[in-house]
Amino acid sequence: MLQIRGLTASYGEREVLHDVTLEVERGEVLALAGPNGAGKSTLLRVVSGVLPPRRGAVLWEGRDLLKMTPRERARLVAVVPQARRLPPMFTVRQAVALGRTAYLPWLGTLGESDRAAVERALAQTDLLPLADRLLGHLSGGEQQRVLLARALAQETPILLLDEPTTHLDLKHQANFLRLVRRLTNERQMAVLMVVHDLNLASHFADRLALLAEGQVVRVGNPAEVLTAEALLRVYGTPVKIWRNGNGRPLIYLTPEHMTPEHTTP
Amino acid sequence: MRSPFRRAVFLNLAVLAAALTLSVAVGSVSIPLRDLVRLLWAGVRGATAPADVPAFMAVIVFKLRLPHTALVFLTGSALGSSGAAYQGVFRNPLADPYLLGVASGAGLGAVAAIALQGEGLTAGGLLIPAAAFVGALLTVALVYALARVDGYVPTHTLILAGVAVGALASAITSFLMLQSEGTLRRAIVYLLGGAPLNGWKPVLAVLPYWLAGETILLISGHPLNVLQFGEEQAQQLGLNAGRAKLLILGAASLATAAAVAFAGIIGFVGLVVPHIARILWGEDYRRLIPLSLLGGASVLLLSDLLARTLLAPQTLPVGIVTALFGAPFFLWVLQQAKKGRG
């Protein structure tokens, strides 16, 4: 189990996370939602070890991830960042092979097990037909899949995703999330995913944590967390919620919510 | 995947061999290829020169051309490979020892060493590359700190910082040279990338720096590949990104210092060569570094050949030749970068 305990982090003087405590089981997807600037991406940066927190710990089976070297940590935590500014001249296979860095010597020579892990990751993300293409020649959805494949090649029990579907169209969103879900089950990973779209979070996540101003406001299954009252408090705007009985509420704005009288109180 | 790289290495070695041969054979006195081969063969065996080859040819080959060629080889290869490494660390195709101001910083170090030592090549000979190294390191640290915005280094701030710091270093260098009377005259000549000092001494003085720098650069291809995704992702992939960057920048600065210490400030080789190599053979730094090393050596040897023969018997500073083909290339790259963004 991944345990995030009492994390407080800041950029300079500005505190961006305050006493965040969360847990994610193996085989479980926990979605992080909340308004812009709530600290969702910052939380991923802290858990992945690139932003040292002021206080708190991140434990995996009792060991503190933040006290490890980058190499040790990268064998436990993999990150799928947003596909931006990827080096255009790398081939897909090269990029995915970099997921093995934590297992490789300084020279980066791939061994048998590394090659096998790379091919497996390429196969699981349906990238084998594109393996020799250059990143610069791929669509946004394909690039995002490459980053997922790279994370899978790391063979970690923890997977962090930072708004992986933001730049994807509907079909690619659906495909990508289905893939993450399947792999979460197959590999029994603990998955922490920042999601901007509440309906995606509602339908895709096992549990959901709502963040606002660096704090966890609510955490639980989607039906518990996604209430009109909570969303009004966190986002500062009234929404309608449609509950169809499957435990995964649907959030929507009606035209009257967008007229001037109904803007932020 | 493996064989295109072998072909590229083979091609580069062939061009390099031709450039090396031309560099030794061609000059104010041309050495016939047949005599050259026999002289070199005799030299390798430690035998005396063949009787039918004029004695002055042996002097020219062993005392002048070979050390000159060796120094140009070290310089060109160091510029090419360190250019590739700087581009990799800064994630910017316009980084090179010259535009970063690192070459000027190394030049300032070298000239300061001469000013302190008085005599260029005797007691102070070993100090010159050391001082050039310190100058290069300080410059790269300063430029990096000035150009960095939110964890990455945009083209415009990089060039501005590089030009500004480089200009400052050049100004101080000029001041030092104007303050001195005799000893620094020579410094003026070689800082123009003109006639490098003669003989084997400068070659031996820079060799340790070249070897140390190139060894580290040649084995750092994989970390450079990881760094192409940015420092944060590199860290998340398991690389100690800060330490890797420091090591690679240190090695590139060693190589730059080796290049600048006795050959002066030569622009554009470190920019053009890695760029062409990247277009032809891709972005994998495990290949890009060795190919830029070989290509840089060939390009500088051929430029030096032009510099020596174009207006013979006058010798042009080689920096003029590299600027003549390098500056238009630089503008072209800038144009491409603009297109890439739009």
Contact partners, residue B122, CB within 8 Å, separation at least 6: none
Q: Measure CB to CB from residue A90 to each of B221, B232, B283 and give the nearest one.
A: B283
Cross-chain residue pair A90–B230, CB shorter than 8 Å = no
Show the tokens assigned to B178: 């104007």
The verdict on residue A81 lying in a domain is yes
Query: Residues B309, B82, A97, CA angle at the centre, nearest 5°?
Result: 135
Q: Which residue from B161, B50, B173, B156 is spatially nearest to B100, judged by alpha carbons?
A: B161
- Residue A79 belongs to domain spanning: 2-227
Total beta-carbon pairs less than 8 A apart between chain A and chain B: 78
Interface test with A, best of B216, B237, B287 (most A CBs within 10 A): B237
Residue B243 Cα, gap to closest chain A Cα (Å): 11
Instruction: Residue A91: list chain B partners with CB under 8 A.
Output: 282
Taking the Cβ of residue A50 and every Cβ of chain B, the question of whether any pair is shorter than 8 Å is answered with yes
Q: What is the pLDDT of residues A54-93, one digit of tens each?
A: 999 999 998 999 999 999 999 999 999 987 888 888 999 9
Per the CB < 8 A criterion, the answer to whether B196 and B205 are in contact is no
Instruction: Find the CATH number of the domain harbouring A117.
Output: 3.40.50.300
Cross-chain residue pair A98–B229, CB shorter than 8 Å = yes
Q: What pLDDT score was predicted for residue A98? A: 96
Residue of A nearest to B280 (CA): A89
Per the CB < 8 A criterion, the answer to whether B99 and B87 are in contact is no
Query: Residues A211, A251, A216, CA angle at the centre, nearest 5°?
Result: 10
Q: What pLDDT score was predicted for residue B148? A: 81
Show the tokens assigned to B98: 């010259």
pLDDT higher than threshold 50 for residue B1? no
pLDDT higher than threshold 60 for residue A265? no
Residue of B nearest to A68 (CA): B238
pLDDT higher than threshold 80 for residue B308? yes
Q: What pLDDT score was predicted for residue B192? A: 58
Contact partners, residue B335, CB within 8 Å, separation at least 6: none
Q: What pLDDT score was predicted for residue A7? A: 94
Taking the Cβ of residue A108 and every Cβ of chain B, the question of whether any pair is shorter than 8 Å is answered with yes
What DSSP letter does each residue of A199-249 carry, written as one string? Answer: HHHHHH-SEEEEEETTEEEEEE-HHHH--HHHHHHHHSS--EEE--SSS--
Spatial separation of the C-alpha atoms in residues B44 and A51, rounded to whole Å? 58
Q: Measure CB to CB from residue A49 to each of B226, B235, B282 and give the nearest one.
A: B235
Question: How many C-beta neighbours within 10 Å does residue A1 have?
Answer: 13
Contact partners, residue B185, CB within 8 Å, separation at least 6: none
Q: Which residue has the higher pLDDT, B325 or B300?
A: B300
Query: Residues A57, A60, A65, CA angle at the centre, nearest 5°?
Result: 50
Place A172 in a pLDDT band, splitting at 50, 70 and 90: confident
The yes/no answer on whether domain B2-22+69-341 falls in CATH 1.20.20.10 is: no
Place B78 in a pLDDT band, splitting at 50, 70 and 90: very high
The verdict on residue A29 lying in a domain is yes
Q: Give pairs for B155-160: CB < 8 Å, separation 24+.
A: B155/B92, B155/B94, B155/B337, B158/B90, B158/B92, B158/B94, B158/B95, B158/B99, B158/B100, B159/B94, B159/B99
Q: What pLDDT score was predicted for residue B195? A: 46
Is the reported ipTM for this assembly greater than 0.85?
Answer: yes
Q: Give pairs for A168-174: CB < 8 Å, separation 24+.
A: A168/A140, A168/A141, A168/A144, A169/A141, A172/A141, A172/A144, A173/A200
pLDDT higher than threshold 90 for residue B339? no
Cross-chain residue pair A108–B223, CB shorter than 8 Å = yes
Q: What percent of chain B has pLDDT over 70?
A: 88
Cross-chain residue pair A69–B240, CB shorter than 8 Å = yes
Q: What is the pLDDT of residues B92-122, one digit of tens each?
A: 888 888 888 998 999 898 888 877 765 544 4
Residue A99 Cα, gap to closest chain B Cα (Å): 6
Q: Which residue has the higher pLDDT, B241 or B236?
A: B236
Q: Measure CB to CB from residue A70 to each of B238, B282, B283 and give the nearest one.
A: B238
Instruction: Residue A150: list chain B partners with CB under 8 A.
Output: 237
User: What's the gap between Cα A74 and its chain centre?
Assistant: 15
Question: In the predicted model, what is the mean pLDDT of residues A105-127?
Answer: 93
pLDDT higher than threshold 80 for residue B156? no
Q: What pLDDT score was predicted for residue B311? A: 82
In the stretch 208-247 of chain B, residues with CB closer than 8 A to chain A read 219-223, 225-226, 228-230, 232-233, 235-241
The verdict on residue A214 lying in a domain is yes
Cross-chain residue pair A79–B238, CB shorter than 8 Å = no
Q: Which residue has the higher pLDDT, A257 or A159?
A: A159
Question: How many C-beta neighbours within 10 Å does residue B256 have?
Answer: 36
Residue B198 Cα, gap to closest chain A Cα (Å): 38
Taking the Cβ of residue A94 and every Cβ of chain B, the question of whether any pair is shorter than 8 Å is answered with yes
Cross-chain residue pair B229–A89, CB shorter than 8 Å = no
Place B48 in a pLDDT band, splitting at 50, 70 and 90: confident
Residue B284 Cα, gap to closest chain A Cα (Å): 7
Place A237 in a pLDDT band, splitting at 50, 70 and 90: confident
Question: In the predicted model, what is the mean pLDDT of residues A12-32?
Answer: 93
Question: In the predicted model, what is the mean pLDDT of residues B149-155?
Answer: 69
Per the CB < 8 A criterion, the answer to whether B298 and B76 are in contact is yes
Q: What pLDDT score was predicted for residue B196? A: 47
Q: What pLDDT score was predicted for residue B197? A: 59
Taking the Cβ of residue B286 and every Cβ of chain A, the question of whether any pair is shorter than 8 Å is answered with yes
Q: What is the pLDDT of residues B117-141, one digit of tens each?
A: 655 444 556 788 888 899 999 998 8
**Tally of structural domains, chain A:** 1
Residue B217 DSSP one-character state: H
Instruction: Residue B225: list chain A partners with CB under 8 A.
Output: 90, 94, 98, 108
- Compute the 3-state secondary structure of chain A and give helix, strand, coil in percent, each to the nearest 5: 40, 25, 35
What DSSP letter does each residue of B222-251 carry, written as one string? Answer: HHHHHHTT-HHHHHHTT--HHHHHHHHHHH
Show the tokens assigned to B154: 């945009």
Instruction: Residue A89: list chain B partners with CB under 8 A.
Output: 278, 282-283
Contact partners, residue B265, CB within 8 Å, separation at least 6: B98, B103, B104, B107, B191, B192, B193, B319
User: What's the gap between Cα B255 and its chain centre?
Assistant: 7
Q: Across-strand partners of A55?
A: A8
Cross-chain residue pair B240–A87, CB shorter than 8 Å = no
Residue B244 Cα, gap to closest chain A Cα (Å): 10
Q: Which residue has the higher pLDDT, B315 or B68?
A: B68
Helix ranges, chain B (H): 2-25, 33-45, 55-59, 66-90, 102-117, 127-147, 155-179, 184-191, 201-218, 221-227, 231-236, 241-263, 269-281, 285-309, 318-341
Strand A207-212 relative to strand A215-220: parallel, antiparallel, unpaired? antiparallel
Cross-chain residue pair B229–A87, CB shorter than 8 Å = yes
Residue A109 Cα, gap to closest chain B Cα (Å): 8
Question: In the predicted model, what is the mean pLDDT of residues A100-112?
Answer: 92
Cross-chain residue pair B225–A104, CB shorter than 8 Å = no
Q: What pLDDT score was predicted for residue B125? A: 67
Residue A120 Cα, gap to closest chain B Cα (Å): 18
Question: In the predicted model, what is the mean pLDDT of residues A45-61?
Answer: 94
Residue A153 Cα, gap to closest chain B Cα (Å): 10
Taking the Cβ of residue A99 and every Cβ of chain B, the question of whether any pair is shorter than 8 Å is answered with yes
The verdict on residue A122 lying in a domain is yes
Q: What pLDDT score was predicted for residue A196? A: 85
Cross-chain residue pair B237–A102, CB shorter than 8 Å = yes
Q: What pLDDT score was predicted for residue B291? A: 97
Q: What is the distance in angstroms between the CA of the first residue and the CA of the last residue of chain B? A: 32
Q: What pLDDT score was predicted for residue B217? A: 97
Q: What pLDDT score was predicted for residue B39? A: 87
Q: What pLDDT score was predicted for residue A18? A: 94
Question: How many C-beta neighbours within 10 Å does residue B42 have?
Answer: 15
Question: In the predicted model, what is the mean pLDDT of residues B153-170?
Answer: 85
pLDDT higher than threshold 50 for residue B181? yes
